[in-house]
Amino acid sequence: MIGKTISHYHITSQLGEGGMGVVYEAEDVNLGRRVALKFLSPSMANDANLLQRFQREARAASSLNHPNICTIHGIEQDEDQHFIIMELLDGESLADRIRRGPIDIDSVLSLGVQIVDALESAHSKGIVHRDLKPANIFVTSRGQAKILDFGLAKIDRQKTDATSNVPTAIADELTSAGATMGTVAYMSPEQARGEVTDTRTDLFSVGTVLYQIATGVLPFQGETSAMVFDAILNRESVPVTQINPSLPVELSRIIGQALEKDRDLRYQSATDLKTALKRLKRDLDSGRHSGETFSIHSTRAPQAIHEHSIAVLYFENLSGMKEDEYLRDGITEDITTELSKIKRVKTFSRAMVLGYRDKPVTAGQVGNELGASYVLTGSLRRAGNRLRINAQLVDTTTDFPLWSERYDREMADVFEVQDEIASKIAAALRITLSPQEQQALAAKPTENLQAYDLYLRGRNYARRVGRQDMQVALQMYENAVALDEGFSLAHAGLANVCAQFYYHYERKPQWIERAISATQKASSNGNDAPEIKLAEAWVDFAEGRYENAVDKMRPALARDPDLDGGYYLLGRALFEAGRYQEIADLMEDALAHAGENYNTTIPIHNALGALGKKDALMNFTHREIAVFEEHLKKVPEDARVRVLLASDYAMQGRLDDAKRELDMAILLRPDDTMILYNAACCFCAMNNAKDAMNALKKSWEGGNRHSAWARQDPDLAILHGDPEFERLYPPADTASA
């Protein structure tokens, strides 16, 4: 075959040979690209069942558009030769990689997440692979997993995407009960018994693959196929930690659950298994255990204590004044930031400690749950221009205070207090600060505490995104820079609000001009703080330069993962660029650093919907509801959260709850075009076209006239054809979204 031209493909070399045929590298002479051609052997091409299986592989895989599934370009026949045209991959099969020995834990988790994410996508379309094994998983030279060979795929007629080209049902002996398909060592017990299979079959096979790549051996072994069958059906695998004691106990638990013989006790979805793997990966990367995002649960498993790791708990607000909470939060977070400047000190993100805020917990409890060696607790009371701060560093293993101090100062001294707390903690831990660390601790965002106070207030309002809230935030930032023209972070906040106001409310050039001017002032002294990069990225985003916004946000988040609103903007930019899978991939990291910025959930929600991951979206909706409900306990006047909560309630069929939150959101912000637009989408989800059209019309009259956006929004689909909708949003209108 080498050197021949079949159809318009010139074959250059052989890549491999399997049970059904041979794979060659070729050049598509029409398109000038390199591809892989998988030929069905002539003898098998005469077998109707095998030919059907071969064709089904092409149809099943070609319906899946996922970065971890090998792309199928087409299936062709040249005379009596049947072949599939596939993406040409550079790397090696996972089977070849395993032959060199066990794989490091980082690669095990990275590959595992990629494989399960691909299965999640396939399962959402009703496709079960049924023959997952290392030989059918390719690892590219860049470490990207690619699932191959859907020849044994089973298609569920109930889940098949109506827009795909996958047959609605295939009912031959390859998919019916009684047939034992797949490679023996990686089969699930139900496959071994010849029973009907489902998505959980693939999860058992994933567990087997993870076991093998982590330890170098198979969980179920035997000298004959019959002995392997017996092991799969009747024997328990040895825990991976007994074979390789360096592996995390949590990995052993995850693999053990994936290998449950009773499929009802296994992970019930690829989403659940992926979440477990991603959480373990994140915890190992950060050296801490995060538990459930946005909340703290007492069921958390105890974690190892890490030397010089400090959990800074939110200080108690002794003034009792709600308006002082933003100051309490800001000062607490700033102390965390100061401590993070000390190389030998390890701190925990806002989201990690948020669940402990205003709750009675002991230092030992926090240390046990987070793996912190010390906890910094404290309180503050503001009275006029005076500020009293009490701080205490407690050893979590003994509950004994290592250091404590009380500061009774003018508000203007708050930065010196933060600097002193960080320095005293370093001294208590016997850490000698380098000159660079001393310089970093001495740096202040502004010399004017009134300006700083206004900046914190502005940031608090800007998170709510609503028109009125944005206007208040704008005023706060303007007053802050009026007091201190050199306050870079306040200029960045001003730019942030102006760019968002342009994007959401008024497409007038002066908003972008003000945003650009503010970013220039923010960076005029050479300051390139992540907050400034965030503002510059918002300008890019507002003007439609989504890839530029992504390029700015990634390094900014690498420097400061807790950057307020950072993951939200990155997610928005990736979504507008159509890079939905990347949003899903960074979901756990984004939520781990979200703190109180609930906006982080929005692009994740939208991406899961765009990817068609219905189960994952429904699971995520439960998490969102918990976040939104908790936020409303603190900020009941936040109309944006209410309309988002209403949409989630509607998804769950809780229509009375959805209507209640919608009515309250509109009552709070009757003229806010964003609230009205989102309300229209929610009314549509409730199949209430009349109220949806009324809300949409009010949004239009208020200035929200993004026709292309409304035309493309699937939530508004039921309004298409309505005379009023067609008048407001004509098909030919291509206004910018």
The catalytic site residues sit at: 131
Which residues share a beta bridge with 74?
A: 85
3-state SS track over 606-626: HHHHHCCCHHHHHHHHHHHHH
CA distance 625 to 623: 6
SS3 at position 389? strand
CB atoms under 10 Å from CB of 678, counted, come to 23
* Strand intervals (E) in 221-322: 306-312, 316-317
CB atoms under 10 Å from CB of 721, counted, come to 8
DSSP string across 579-603: -HHHHHHTHHHHHHT-TT-GGGHHH
SS3 at position 248? coil
Show the tokens assigned to 714: 């699937």
486, burial (CB in 10 Å: exposed 0-12, middle 13-18, buried 19+): middle
CA distance 413 to 395: 28
Contact present, 492 and 534 (Cβ < 8 Å):
yes
Residue with the two structure tokens 């030998």: 344
- Sort residue 21 into left (φ over 0), alpha (ψ -120 to 50) or beta: left
Tell me, what DSSP letter sits at residue 69?
A: B
SS3 at position 310? strand
- Beta-strand pair 372-383/306-312: parallel
Provide φ and ψ at 119, rounded to 5°: -65, -35
Rounded to the nearest angstrom, the gap between the alpha carbon of residue 720 and the centroid of all alpha carbons in its chain is 32
CA distance 303 to 282: 14
Residue with the two structure tokens 């009023």: 724
Rounded to the nearest angstrom, the gap between the alpha carbon of residue 338 and the centroid of all alpha carbons in its chain is 27
Contact present, 426 and 433 (Cβ < 8 Å):
yes
Which of these, 473, 375, 465, 380, lies nearest to 425 by C-alpha position? 375
| Alpha-carbon radius of gyration of the chain | 29
Show the tokens assigned to 248: 């995390």
Residue type, 736: S
Residue with the two structure tokens 């208590």: 428
SS3 at position 395? strand
Residue type, 586: L
Residue with the two structure tokens 């298609």: 155
For 15, half-sphere exposure in the C-beta direction (CA atoms, 13 angstrom radius) is 22
CA distance 544 to 561: 24
Which of these, 233, 367, 245, lies nearest to 307 by C-alpha position? 367
SS3 at position 84? strand
C-alpha dihedral (328, 331, 335, 338), degrees to nearest 10 = 160
Show the tokens assigned to 371: 């793996």
Question: Kind and range of the H or E element at 568?
Answer: helix 566-576
Which of these, 566, 600, 570, lies nearest to 582 by C-alpha position? 570
